[in-house]
Structure 1
Amino acid sequence: MTHPTGRQLRSLTTPRAAALAGVAFALLFGVVLVVMRTSLPPGAQLGSQWSDGSSGRLKLAIVLTPFAGIAFLWFIGVLRDGLGQLEDQFFTTVFIGSGFLFLAMIFTSTAVGAGLLASKQFVAEAGTRTEVAAFGQGLLLALTDTYALRMAAVFMMSVATIWLRTGLMPRWLVVVTYLVAIAVLVASDVSPWTTVAFPVWVLLVSLLLLFAPAASTRLPDRA
């Protein structure tokens, strides 16, 4: 490929400020989870929340989710760029694949919620509306709690394994990452609020990348 003469070309580098994407995701997705948990509290009759005045909060979660997903894509890019020449195809495949699956299922669950809210005006019979809402709510929670957040746990485990094998991050962060991943993987069925640990972990990693001394976070350049 030829380049125009007289033009200075520079290789692309990822600025440290790109880690702000992780902060944005943590805040946005944290709000989404809190809104969803308060709108769909455990123990309430399945499907009743859609007609009990919670639709406004659910609309907020639906609006914020795409922006949280965009920020998470940038966060994945920041983590992968930091690997440099130490990138391993096996662990990177698991790391990126689990991140993409997490995003896909979060978007799908949000689309289910948006469809349910939009369908309320087209279902006239109260009994049918409740049945449709119950099915949609069960599908939404299954996608979020059973599948998406377990992919988030796999994402954290793969990242922690990469850090452990390469020494790119402090050992205490590796241990914390494994513990949070296990909590999200196992305890999400016990307490739905355990899932908030994932955006908190992303926030911790992003702040470490932003404010840690440059010498301690300098990673190998790509070949």
Structure 2
Amino acid sequence: MSTPPQDTNSAPTPRHLSTPRAAALAGIAFAVLFGTTLIVIRIKMPEGLEDSTQWLKSQQSAITTATVLMPFAGISFLWFIGVVRDGFGRYEDRFFLSVFLGSGLLFLAMMFVATAVAAGLVASNTDVTDPTARAEVINFGTHFLVSASQTYALRMAAVFMISLATIWFKTRLMPRWLAILSYLVALTLLIVSEMSKWAELVFPAWVLVVSCLILTRSRLTEQQRTQHD
């Protein structure tokens, strides 16, 4: 009896796509890159938005560096969102997940806008020759940058933290103290976001804490699996 010919064009068996372990480092990369970007852009910025022309002239190279770093910080944040969502597993709640994703993407969009404005300010400092017009452009752009980053982006970051803390609190996927801490930090950001230009650094610091905890737990889980095997 002859053996039927094998189908060489048969499709390969699909395999389950797992989150790479390196993705757990995305939050740490975001915290470092984003924190550096904020410090570089906001350092020596006049509190009352006075003397903006002199600030832009003295910090031109630093601001240019920040505009280069920000896209990489954004990519890392998207990976961080993916890592956090992967941890939800079957406990995903569509309502809080929608708020979580929406606020995270809005935060990132606002920070991209603010950084793009900073890049535009650097270009306008050389393209606009009229001193009076240049001062007005820089003053407007600086107001826009501060509003986009502090008033809007930071509050979206607070909503991101609240939604994530609620998911953790309900599912107990993360320690209860982290959920409570996230609530407190988020409420603080909602209130004091416009009172200090350095309040923005609280969010990357929180992401750093969460990422380190996720990385530590993933390593412990991997060690336990290795011991059982």
With normalisation by structure 1, the TM-score equals 0.90
The Cα offsets for residues 43-74 of structure 1, whole Å up to 9 and x where unpaired, read as: 45152345431111111111111000000000
Identity %: 53
Shift of residue 182 of structure 1?
Answer: 1.4
Choose the corresponding residue for 1:174, options 176, 179, 193. Answer: 179
| 1:57-136 equivalence runs, <5 A | 57-136=62-141
Map Cα deviations across residues 115-134 of structure 1 (whole Å, 9 max, x no partner).
12112222111111001100
Paired with 2:160 and 2:129, the residues of 1 have a C-alpha distance of 43
Runs of 4+ in 1 over 6 A off after TM superposition: none
Matched, 1:142 2:178: no
Query: Aligned residue for 1:12?
Result: 17
Greater relative contact order structure (CA < 8 Å, 6+ sep): 1
Aligned residue in 2 for 1:157: 162
1:211 to 191, 216, 220: 216
Cα distance between partner residues in 2 of 1:44 and 1:134 = 7
Superimposed CA distance per residue, residues 91-126 of structure 1 (whole angstroms, 9 cap, x where no aligned partner)? 000000001101111111111111121122221111
How many Å separate the matches in 2 of 1:66 and 1:215? 32
- The question of whether the paired residues in 2 share the 8 Å contact of 1:99 and 1:152 is answered with yes
SS where residue 169 of structure 1 aligns? coil
1:190 equivalent in alignment to 2:228:
no
Moved more, 78-87 or 185-194: 185-194
Q: Does 1:52 align with 2:72?
A: no
The number of aligned residues is 215
Q: Report which of the two structures shows the higher radius of gyration computed on alpha carbons.
A: 2
Post-superposition Cα deviations, 1:118-151, rounded to whole Å, max 9, x if no partner, equal 1222211111100110000000110000001110
What secondary structure sits across from 1:190 in the alignment? Answer: coil
Write the letter of the residue equivalent to 1:179. Answer: L
Whether the aligned pair in 1 keeps the contact of 2:56 and 2:122 (CA below 8 Å) is no
**Cα shift at 1:28:** 0.3
Please report how far the alpha carbon of residue 171 of structure 1 lies from its aligned counterpart in structure 2 after TM superposition. Answer: 0.5
Question: Which secondary structure does the structure 2 equivalent of 1:159 belong to?
Answer: helix
Instruction: Name the stretch that deviates more: 34-43 or 73-82.
Output: 34-43
Letter paired with 1:182: L
Aligned partner of residue 52 in structure 1, secondary structure: helix
Residues 1:12 and 1:54: Cα distance change in structure 2 (over 3 Å) = same
* SS of structure 1 residue aligned to 2:58: coil
| SS of alignment partner, residue 189 of structure 1 | coil
